[in-house]
Structures are given as structure tokens and as C-alpha cells.
Amino acid sequence: MRLYEPIMLALPLAERLEELIIATGRLPNGDEVREELKKFNLEESCLDRGLAIHRGRFIITLTFPREEHLIIDILSSTGELSDALEVIAYHDRELEAYIVEILPANELEFEGNIGLEPVIIDDKNFELKSNPVLGYFEEHENGIFLAIDEKTYRRWKTGGNTSTCPICGGELAWRGNEAYCRDCGYGVRVVRE
């Protein structure tokens, strides 16, 4: 699927960072992030002193890897900053956890983390301590959907807020395995295993 907007990269990228942290027991380094961005069909257009720039037809990313944190800015190729997002991964020593957050560049429009909750991974046993709603996007005849697996849906349902859109914070209307958000226009679809 083509990445038309920053959100279409931010959610699956945050999920992939979660998987990498759990698998390796550390924050991903710059090379690992560059390889992940290539999997999303983004072309590397610059690599200089730790900064990496990737681009697609509709998306531009700037990656700033550091030892203690990782920042990936995702911009629309139109240059509109209102749609820009930032995926941040860091080790929080006070919480004793690795955190992955998706934050809007324009914090006036949306308060909080996209995905409803940030990814919080215990830094001792590398188990997930939060209930983020992350997945990938699919395009169907009736719209574009955030596809989530059953495990994610069960965690989300346990948290009790399945009526809140994980993309914009609006209200979801469910029909079977699909939900629609009137605010952002995206849907959520539970992919059965």
C-alpha cells in the first residue's frame, strides 16, 4: 500500500520499533532504522553525521539516532507541517522502561499519543506494559483501514476504550470487525488469524 500521509508510516513504524526493542533488548541503531524505512519502499536520499533522510512519493522522513533516544520526523512531501508526526523511542530510567511515542508536530489539534497509548516495554523482562493500538494500513473499496491483529484488539478491549479512534481520538462506530471514524475518515479493521 502506498503511504499517502505521515500517519500511514508512523503507526506501523512504531509497531516495528516495539518488536525490535523486545527482540534485541535495546533501542534500534541508525542502520537498523534505515533498513526498516527501506522496507516501507522509502528511498534513502541523504546520510550525513547521524542524520538520515528518506523519501517516497508522498512522505519524507528525517531520522536522528542517538544512544539514549531515537527521533524520526515524518513529513508530508507537500511540506504541510500540520500533518507532520514524530516517532520517538527512548529509555526512561525512572520508569525502567523503553518508550515509543507518536506525537503530532502540531500539538494544538490533538492532545496525547497517537495509538491511544505509547508503547511501554519493561527494561528488565522486555514485556509490553501498555496497550498501544498499532498496526498497518490497508486500502479497500470502502476506505483506508488501520489493520490490527486479534491480540492487539483484545488488549485494546481490556483497556475499555474501543470507541475511541487510535488515529485522531474521535469516536468510532463499529460494524462487526470494522470501525469507522467520522472525524478522520480512517477505519479500524480487526484481522482475524
**How confident is the model over 29-55, as a mean pLDDT?**
89
Contacting residues for 160 by C-beta, under 8 A, at least 6 apart:
none
Contact 124, 157 (CB under 8 A): no
**How confident is the model over 112-124, as a mean pLDDT?**
86
Q: Residue 43: inside a domain, yes or no?
A: yes
Q: Are residues 93 and 44 in the same domain?
A: yes
> Mind giving me the DSSP string for 101-169?
EEEES-TTT--S-TTSS-EEEETTT--B-S-----EEEEETTEEEEEEEHHHHHHHHHHT-TTB-TTTS
Contact 173, 182 (CB under 8 A): yes
Q: For residue 51, what pLDDT is reported? A: 86
Q: Are residues 18 and 89 in the same domain?
A: yes
Q: Are residues 143 and 95 in the same domain?
A: no
- The model's pTM: 0.91
Based on its alpha-carbon atoms, the radius of gyration of the chain, rounded to whole angstroms, reads 16
Q: Structural domain tally of the chain?
A: 2
Q: Are residues 104 and 179 in the same domain?
A: no
Residue 153's nearest CA partner among 122, 104, 116 is: 116
**How far is it, in rounded angstroms, from Cα 139 to Cα 94?**
41
Longest CA–CA span in the chain (Å) reads: 49
The Cβ of residue 180 has, within 10 Å, a number of other Cβ atoms equal to: 18
**How far is it, in rounded angstroms, from Cα 180 to Cα 165?**
8
**How far is it, in rounded angstroms, from Cα 69 to Cα 66?**
5
Q: Which domain holds residue 143?
A: 136-191
Q: Residue 54: inside a domain, yes or no?
A: yes
Q: Residue 56: inside a domain, yes or no?
A: yes
Q: Are residues 102 and 186 in the same domain?
A: no
For 126-173, how does the pLDDT look when each residue is reduced to its tens digit (9 = 90+)?
999 999 999 999 998 889 999 999 999 999 998 878 999 999 889 999
Q: Are residues 114 and 161 in the same domain?
A: no
For 75-107, how does the pLDDT look when each residue is reduced to its tens digit (9 = 90+)?
998 877 778 999 999 999 999 999 999 998 765
Q: Are residues 90 and 20 in the same domain?
A: yes
Q: Residue 150: inside a domain, yes or no?
A: yes
